[in-house]
């Protein structure tokens, strides 16, 4: 996604770039999210710019949501048990 537009009374020019789902490839969501006027949006799904995993094919695998969720759960459990053991 690459979106350009103006913001504020001074009509400062802004550009937003990044990976996006197809629903963000329209003017209205981008204009509302970034408070922009005169918005131009372009998406390039064919070249891999909107797919984060394609650009990391040669590197190490990235942890997914399940791995992150498990890590947070284990850290919270360890923290709660640590507080309980210190309290008793």
pLDDT, tens digit (0-9, with 9 covering 90-100), for 55-74: 444 455 555 667 778 888 88
Highest mean pLDDT out of 15-29, 35-49, 50-64: 15-29
Predicted pLDDT of residue 22: 81
Is residue 52 within 8 A of residue 21, CB to CB? The reply is no
User: What is the greatest pairwise CA distance in the chain?
Assistant: 63
17: pLDDT strictly greater than 60:
yes
Pairwise CA distance, residues 62 & 68, whole Å: 10
pLDDT at 20: 79
What does the alpha-carbon distance between residue 16 and residue 7 come to, in Å, rounded to a whole number?
Answer: 12
Is residue 86 very low, low, confident or very high in pLDDT (cuts 50, 70, 90)?
A: low
């Amino acid at each position: 996604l690459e979106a350009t537009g103006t913001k504020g009374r001074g009509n400062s020019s802004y550009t937003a770039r990044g990976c996006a789902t197809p629903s963000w490839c329209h003017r209205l969501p981008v204009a509302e999210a970034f408070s922009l006027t005169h918005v131009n949006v372009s998406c390039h799904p064919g070249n891999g710019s909107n797919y984060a995993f394609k650009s990391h094919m040669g590197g190490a695998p990235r942890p997914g949501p399940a791995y992150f969720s498990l890590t947070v759960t284990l850290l919270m459990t360890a923290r709660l048990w640590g507080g309980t053991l210190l309290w008793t």
